[in-house]
Chain A
Amino acid sequence: QQQVKQSPQSLIVQKGGISIINCAYENTAFDYFPWYQQFPGKGPALLIAIRPDVSEKKEGRFTISFNKSAKQFSLHIMDSQPGDSATYFCAAAGGTSYGKLTFGQGTILTVHP
């Protein structure tokens, strides 16, 4: 029940294209859903996050779509750039400690020039 399932495992997109990564959760106590970007050998960096009271949040080229009834959320990267090539993790937290994040399995994104 604590799992967050992420797909796809890897994704190849052409420059300028849209990258879409999906996540699904089971624990209804989760009420905070961040996305992190990680480059090799580095710590994860917070990209964007959403709470269940909204269905969509946009920050620059990054958009989170959230479907509470389906317990799913997704990250859309518009106008994907080679510099976006990294591993992306969705995560979820809730209850008394938002620092106890449950991470998805990760998606390796490659953007070809």
Chain B
Amino acid sequence: GAVVSQHPSWVICKSGTSVKIECRSLDFQATTMFWYRQFPKQSLMLMATSNEGSKATYEQGVEKDKFLINHASLTLSTLTVTSAHPEDSSFYICSAPGQGRLEQYFGPGTRLTVT
């Protein structure tokens, strides 16, 4: 299957600061990537769709000014959590479709802790 990586795997930041999370497709190109959030012992919730060359689209209830998404190239999407607060602490996971379009491959996730 296709390989998706994320960096960093774990980050701690202070309240009010911003943090950037990278998502890369390692052996394939992805014009679209997806960002999910998973709180402890809960399911994954789709936050936004990252589109190469155009603006991201956000799911209902997700603040686009707080969660900035940039799809810089065909292999890289970044999620920036701006002015982070403790309630933003979560597991952020990206995904990208494989060549078959149906299968979605997930990155290893980034654990964000805001103190």
Contact partner of A43 (CB less than 8 A), chosen from B43, B45, B97, B108, is B108
> What band does the interface of chain B fall in when counting residues whose beta carbon is under 8 Å from A?
20 to 34
Closest 6 CB pairs of A and B: A43-B106, A103-B43, A43-B109, A43-B108, A99-B34, A103-B44
A32, A36, A43, A89: residue with the most chain B Cβ atoms closer than 10 Å:
A43
B107 touching A98, Cβ below 8 Å: no
> What band does the interface of chain A fall in when counting residues whose beta carbon is under 8 Å from B?
20 to 34
Q: Which residues of the other chain, A, contact B105 by a CB distance below 8 angstroms?
A: 46
Q: In angstroms, how far is the closest chain B Cβ from the Cβ of A7?
A: 13
B residues with a Cβ closer than 8 A to A are: 1, 4, 6, 32-34, 42-46, 49, 93, 95-97, 101-109, 111
Q: In angstroms, how far is the closest chain A Cβ from the Cβ of B87?
A: 21
Q: Which residues of the other chain, B, contact A44 by a CB distance below 8 angstroms?
A: 44, 93, 106
